[in-house]
């Protein structure tokens, strides 16, 4: 369903190692969101967004522990980083890190990318910063459009595939869009996050596709990597 699941496809393997890495990323992101504001999702929009992002993939106790850690005044702090990379066979990647050691994060990311035939370089021109909402809806698409327009939401696109809906909005209107959709009874999302989407996709096959998937797997396993966005079409991979 939608571009979101193409982006995530390579990081959803149901192994203990993958789950552990996912829970760690969720914990760090939720902890930092809670620490930067009040540790209450009703008053902290960033925390609410972080919780919504991981609600479907992480147990409630992982989320609750991260919030309680921030409430307890824990002194741990993480540094955000962003690296752009040219991967194998025309693939482009944006790699976000959240780490307690930015030098280690840079070395880890650069090593992983270069070992798969890539290099760090400027690629942000091929990506758009957006708010993404994926959900199931049995009503009319016109009702969705009307609710969003009446709430002055900057809508980039609406993709309705037999009731599986993907709405793309300006990132600044992400929370406004959720409030608008709430008027239609939409509160349960398959995905709801601010993300980066590629403007153009490339299709890889054979050895090139294998190498790219290995690159994604290694980035997914890296303790410093928080999010990976790319321009490879994995819908049929």
Give the number of residues written for the chain. Answer: 237
168-216 pLDDT tens trace: 999 999 999 999 999 999 999 988 999 999 999 999 999 999 999 999 9
DSSP 3: H
19-42 pLDDT tens trace: 899 999 999 999 999 999 889 998
Closest CA to 129 of 172, 189, 81: 172
DSSP 137: -
The pTM of the full predicted model, rounded to 2 decimals, is: 0.87
Point out which residues pair with 80 in neighbouring strands. 98
- CA 65, 71, 77, 81 dihedral sign is positive
CB burial class (10 A; 0-12, 13-18, 19+) of residue 120?
middle
């Amino acid at each position: 369903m939608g571009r979101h699941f193409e982006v995530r496809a390579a990081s959803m393997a149901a192994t203990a190692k993958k789950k552990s890495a996912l829970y760690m990323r969720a914990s760090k992101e939720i902890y930092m969101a809670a620490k930067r504001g009040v540790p209450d999702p009703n008053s902290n929009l960033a925390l609410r967004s972080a919780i919504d992002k991981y609600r479907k993939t992480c147990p409630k106790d992982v989320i609750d522990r991260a919030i309680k850690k921030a409430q307890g005044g824990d002194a741990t702090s993480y540094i955000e980083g962003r690296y752009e990379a040219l991967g194998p066979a025309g693939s482009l990647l944006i790699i976000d890190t959240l780490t307690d050691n930015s030098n280690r994060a840079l070395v880890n990311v650069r090593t992983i990318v270069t070992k798969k035939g890539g290099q760090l370089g400027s690629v942000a021109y091929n990506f758009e910063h957006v708010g993404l909402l994926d959900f199931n809806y049995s009503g009319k698409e016109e009702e969705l459009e009307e609710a969003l327009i009446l709430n002055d939401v900057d809508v980039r696109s609406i993709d309705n595939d037999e009731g599986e809906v993907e709405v793309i909005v300006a990132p600044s209107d992400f929370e406004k869009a959720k409030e608008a959709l709430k008027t239609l009874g939409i509160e349960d999302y398959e995905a709801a996050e601010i993300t980066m989407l590629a403007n153009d996709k490339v299709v890889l096959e054979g050895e090139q596709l294998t190498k790219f998937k290995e690159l994604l797997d290694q980035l997914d396993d890296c303790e410093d990597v928080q999010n990976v966005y790319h321009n490879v079409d994995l819908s049929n991979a």
